[in-house]
Amino acid sequence: MANTPHTSTSQAEHPTVSRDVLKRLTPVWVHRGRSLGQADVCAYETEGRRLVVKDFRRRPWWVRRWWGRWVLRREWARLERLQGISGIPRLLGWVDADAFAMEWIEGDRLPRRKDHFLRPIFFERLERLVAEMHARGVGHGDLRRKNILVDKGQNPYLIDFATACLAGPKRRHRHILERYCAVDRLKVAELKQAYCPDSLTNDERRSLDRLPLLLRFGSLVRKRVYRPFIKPRRWRHRWERLRRFLFGRRPDAK
């Protein structure tokens, strides 16, 4: 996909794909929600174009009604504020109250450090993209490897704005946004340190040496508590091992 400016999509550029149409298409799983509170993300191909649908349809009705729809409206509002910025997925429209569609990005998640192909130009573009996002009054707050895509031309794209902050009229909203923006800048500096340490500025090095206590604590909890003990995927693997130990393999297992 060419790295060209997008057009505004207050009204979807393409007709909104309907639920009936989706039922006739074969989904390609991008991300399968691992908990009740997470949406499924699937890619579809229709009328010669690819699109991505973020969908709570498989969740119980009470989750869809009281959580899923609020989360989707929240993310839509943040993406809508950013429409027209190159590097932000273009909104295509609502499927129904439980799902919306956006453009497919021809890119991959950031590679692991041991076999990465990223060049300094990528991080220069990423910094400009993040700065433009902040100028529109949006802070991402979760800029990690899986939420940043890169295409063959070393152009960055940001995804997953479910927890992003949108600036409001009140002073406390602006204060929260400033915190989000500071975290975003630190995350970009951490990525530069991991992939292209020679491109770090002196200010970025000093910032990384003096990480806020809250960020240090959050990183510690994520690495030492969440990943080994709470992460849903790990619990599923543990349950599967216990089930095999107690009952053996399923009859249809290959």
Residues 57-72: tens digit of each pLDDT: 999 999 999 999 999 9
Q: Which amino acid is at 127?
A: E
Start-end of CATH 1.10.510.10 domains in the chain: 108-211
* Amino acid 237: pLDDT: 65
- Cα separation, 145 vs 149, in Å, equals 8
- Cα separation, 79 vs 102, in Å, equals 10
- Cα separation, 55 vs 73, in Å, equals 12
pLDDT over threshold 60, residue 13: no
In percent, the amount of the chain with pLDDT more than 90 equals: 60
Start-end of CATH 3.30.200.20 domains in the chain: 19-103
**For the whole model, what pTM was predicted?**
0.80
pLDDT tens digit sequence for 17-55: 889 999 999 999 999 888 889 999 999 998 888 999 999
Q: Is 3.40.50.300 the CATH classification of the domain at 108-211?
A: no
- Cα separation, 47 vs 25, in Å, equals 11
Q: Where does the pLDDT of residue 114 fall: very low under 50, low under 70, confident under 90, or very high at 90 and above?
A: low
Given the candidates 1.10.10.10, 3.80.30.20, 3.40.190.10, 3.30.200.20, the CATH classification of the domain at 19-103 is 3.30.200.20
pLDDT tens digit sequence for 169-220: 777 778 899 999 999 999 999 999 999 999 899 999 888 887 665 555 455 4
Instruction: Indicate if the alpha-carbon torsion angle 190, 143, 134, 163 is positive or negative.
Output: negative
Give Cα 93 distance to the centre of its chain.
18
Q: Where does the pLDDT of residue 238 fall: very low under 50, low under 70, confident under 90, or very high at 90 and above?
A: low
Lowest mean pLDDT among 37-41, 105-109, 229-233: 229-233
